[in-house]
Amino acid sequence: MTDPLVVDALTVTYPDGHRALDAVSLTVGAGERWAVVGRSGSGKTTLVRAVLGLLPPRTRVTGSIRVGGQEVLGAPEAVLRAVRGLVAGYVPQDPYAACDPLRTVGHHVTEAWAVHRRRPPDGAVSAALDGVGIPDGGRRALQHPHQWSGGMLQRATLVAATAHAPLLTLADEPTSALDAELADDVLDLVRRTCGALLLISHDLALVARHTDSTLVLADGAAVETGPAARVLRSPTAPETRELVAAATVVPRAAPAAAPGAPVARADGVSRRYGDVTAVEDATLTVAAGEIVGIVGRSGSGKSTLARLIGGMERPDTGTVRLGAGDGRLRPGFVMPIFQDPVASLDRRWALWRTLTEPALARGERHSRRARRALATEALERVGLGDIDVDRLPGSLSVGQAQRVAVARALAARPALLIADEPTASLDVASAAAITALLREIADAGAALLVVSHDAPRLGGYADRVVTMDAGHLTEDGALRDAPV
């Protein structure tokens, strides 16, 4: 039987000279479940793009890639189109970027058939959406991507990727915006609807539960490979040992000091979109010096509540008070870290412009050289000291873009930081570093409201954790008594 995927000595060098992959080899046999893990920027997504023939023009590629026995390196576009979707399904890392914002979600899913000049069976789209936990899938399919949460939209892209039960499914962080229970359900669905799986993931626990073999990348090179259980339980490469160590989260002990004065308070807020109630009668206070976490299933209203508290949306009922409540807030008083880091960065701006914009908003004036120096310091703070400040966001991995978004928010010196899934796109080592930085910011006096599907990691640095369920704050898992 032909192996679904054979990669032999693959080397990829981008037009700017960056070597993203260096002599990587991998064979995924029929029915096998492989995972590729590594830090952000290690080459994981480049591997997927190379398999699908989606690398940028003028990229130098050597080696061989065979999908279902078909050589795809150098293959004409007609051959690649026949491979994509039918032979190799693809779940992208960024669901918002994968969808046309002017088209409905249902159109996006239906395109999986239309691109091959086929029509989906009657009721197939709504049934598939229902099958991945989207309630009332037929009606919700008529909505546009911005009306869906990131986790819901990710599930829609997964439906499109597995529409034809492909021989191989390439899943690039398919569960990064999903809670653990739903992530398991979704990957179980992938296992049932595809022949073989190549999973790109930062979630080592998920990798251990759903894959048989693991390849570890570091700086574009394969540093360890073998059975997933062995690699993650008894790693031999230093890089793998660091990743495994960073994945272990120690719960935060209850702090002795009480929080400071309230920085933001939502009192009885509700928000509706048409006949959908996203948040219902929610009350929550965030005080100086504390981190309040919000957990809940995808689509439960976590992000909507965060936007309401941050003043990015107005509640239909109830009130939100920021600072002294007199409406006079300094520039940068509230800073968001959005769920979609790539879209939150201006693609036309070099990183130094993005990172120094908060300083300009404060009225500071700096020379171009000084702004570049400030940008370099901001990148070093989030572990990106080796990134050129002249790079554009499009040249970054999603994880790197996430850290740039964090650096920009911190540069504003906010009193209230609203972070929506700040670690969802990060490898475990980077996530540990970013959460430590967020804790440091709170300890210095800032108030933080963090939305996350990763309850264990959130419990490692948050002071209080509340749960959203179908638009309602249902419980308070406070590490200390909530402030009154």
The CATH number given to whatever domain includes residue 59 is 3.40.50.300
Q: Which two tokens stand for residue 61?
A: 């590629």
Share of the chain above pLDDT 90, in %: 49
**Do 287 and 418 fall into the same domain?**
yes
What residues are paired with 279 via a beta bridge?
271
Give the mean model confidence (pLDDT) for residues 37-64: 92
- Same domain, yes or no: 228 and 313: no
User: Beta strand 196-200 with 33-38: parallel, antiparallel or unpaired?
Assistant: parallel
Q: Which pLDDT score is estimated for 400?
A: 86
Query: Is residue 483 predicted with pLDDT exceeding 50?
Result: no
Please state the domain count of the chain. 2
Single-letter amino acid code for the residue at 314: R
Same domain, 19 and 70: yes
pLDDT exceeds 90 at position 39: no
Residue 242 shares a structural domain with residue 287: no
| pLDDT single digits (tens) 399-452 | 788 889 989 999 989 999 999 988 877 788 888 888 888 998 899 899 999 998
In a domain, 481, yes or no: no
206, 220 Cβ separation under 8 angstroms? no
Domain ends where: 212, 246, 280? 246
pLDDT band at 477 (very low <50, low <70, confident <90, very high): very low
pLDDT at 305 over 50: yes
Is position 257 within any domain?
no
Q: How confident is the model at residue 254 (pLDDT cuts 50, 70, 90)?
A: low
Cα 196 to chain centroid distance, Å, stands at 23
Residues 11, 100, single domain; the answer is yes
Q: Does 282 lie in the same domain as 242?
A: no
Residue-number span of the structural domain to which 422 is assigned: 262-476
Residue 256 lies in a domain: no
Model confidence pLDDT, tens digit, residues 154-197: 888 888 988 888 999 998 888 776 666 677 777 887 777 778 99
Cα separation, 305 vs 451, in Å, equals: 9
Average model confidence (pLDDT) for the chain?
88
The pLDDT of residue 48 is above 90 = yes
Tell me, yes or no, whether 253 lies in a domain.
Answer: no
| pLDDT-derived band at 255, boundaries 50, 70, 90 | low
- Domain check: are 187 and 310 in the same one? no
| Same domain assignment for residues 18 and 162 | yes
Q: Are 192 and 113 in contact (CB under 8 A)?
A: no
The token pair that represents 351 in the structure block: 């990183």
The first and second tokens of residue 456, run together, are 């264990």
Tokens of 200: 């790109």
Domain ends where: 246, 271, 303?
Answer: 246
Q: Are 450 and 431 in contact (CB under 8 A)?
A: no
Residue range 318-377, pLDDT digits in tens: 999 998 767 788 888 999 998 788 888 998 999 999 999 998 888 888 999 999 999 999
Per-residue pLDDT, 482: 36
Say yes or no: 435 and 338 in one domain.
yes
How confident is residue 262, by pLDDT bands cut at 50, 70 and 90?
A: very high
344 shares a domain with 205: no
Could you say which of 246, 280, 315 is where a domain stops?
246
Could you give the C-alpha distances from 151 to 111, 326, 403, in angstroms and in order? 20, 36, 20
As given in the structure block, the two tokens for residue 393 are 């966001």
Interatomic CA distance for residues 309 and 318, integer angstroms: 11
pLDDT exceeds 50 at position 480: no
The whole-number average pLDDT for the span 128-137 is 85
482 within some domain: no
Percent of the chain with pLDDT over 70: 95
Instruction: Give the pLDDT score at 474.
Output: 79
Closest CA to 196 of 372, 398, 31: 31
SS3 398: helix
What is the C-alpha separation between 452 and 420, in angstroms, rounded?
Answer: 7
Asked if residue 232 and residue 280 are part of one domain, the reply reads no
Whether the pLDDT of residue 1 is over 70: the answer is no
Residue 287 lies in a domain: yes
Q: What is the pLDDT of residues 372-390, one digit of tens each?
A: 999 999 999 888 988 999 9
183/299 same-domain check: no
Look at the pTM and tell me if it is higher than 0.85.
no
Question: Residue 251 domain-assigned?
Answer: no
Q: Is residue 47 part of a domain?
A: yes
Q: Find residue 221's DSSP bridge partners.
A: 218
